[in-house]
Amino acid sequence: MPANRQFRGAFTALVTPFTSTGAIDEETFRSLVRRQIDSGIHGLVACGTTGETPTLSHEEDEWVIATTLEMASERPSRARVRVIAGTGSNSTATAIRATRRAAEIGVDAALVVAPYYNKPDQRMLESHFRAVADEGDLPIIVYNVPGRTGVNVEAATLLRLAEHPRIVAVKEASANMDQIATILRDRPADFSVLAGDDTWTLPMLALGGDGVICTCANEIPGEMAEMCDAAFAGDWDTARRIHERWLPLMKANFAGGPNPVPVKAAMSMMGLLSDVLRAPLLPLDEPNRARLKMVLQTTGALDSTPTSAEKVAAKA
């Protein structure tokens, strides 16, 4: 493992569970985070897209971030998993404020998405990320996801940003292998490149990538951590076996509805949470739910469903 890269491995983009009334289900959230840590996950991302951040209040954002950090820190005898907070906004000033607040809470880094809706050009994108890095008091992970934001952080722009001492990584979800390969080839030695699409994790690891910020680790955290560890150890047969087994689940998590609609449906079937989302998102419809259940059954994901005793122990 390159000692000078701060972020390597599997990082879970945590879902935010809700009660039937729409409030954050605090007990379940703590159980989910504890399950992640017990499974050997390398890091946690609080308040990303998968966490339904657009529907959370600032107070709820801070609770989720602080609670994730609290849970990650409760075992002093173990190395604490890294905690990353989503602090991005399409307002540079808002992103700076959110990043500063996350720094006060004590997280390891901020995940900052490219500004959405207002469609800044490359010059504007570079200025935005530099401002957050200069003024936000945290290491910054650039989040490039053109399918959601409407803008692409091009390789040349990202590589200029990578020279900034506080811009330490990118979550690359452009689905553009030419762009990703260029970044991996030309990045500074201390700059981490993380997959932003679950299905691209193994190909990016094979090109020298550093891991993934992923959705499917909500369901299979131990398996995603194992795949990354195997790749880092040069055990490509094991890494490929894990990838091939769970590829149908990675794809099913994005079928039939926007993230996190399918993954919450899957986790509900696994007995991990109640299938409640905040509007405008709605639960997965029945035809897609049936297809998702079949994937869970054929991959063996339902075999890891916690027993009643385990659920009680997790909540204790």
Residues designated as active site: 143, 171
Give which of 309, 75, 112 is closest to 213, Cα–Cα. Answer: 112
Instruction: List the structure tokens of 45.
Output: 């991302």
**Residue among 40, 42, 11 at smallest CA distance from 201:** 11
CB atoms closer than 10 angstroms to residue 105: 16
Q: Measure Cα distances from 195 to 130, 138, 215, 246, 262 in Å.
A: 22, 21, 11, 16, 20
In 3D space, the residue among 249, 128, 268, 141 whose CA is nearest the CA of residue 196 turns out to be 141
Rounded to the nearest 10°, the torsion over CA 252, 82, 191, 215 is 10
Across the chain, how many H-helices and E-strands are there? 13, 8
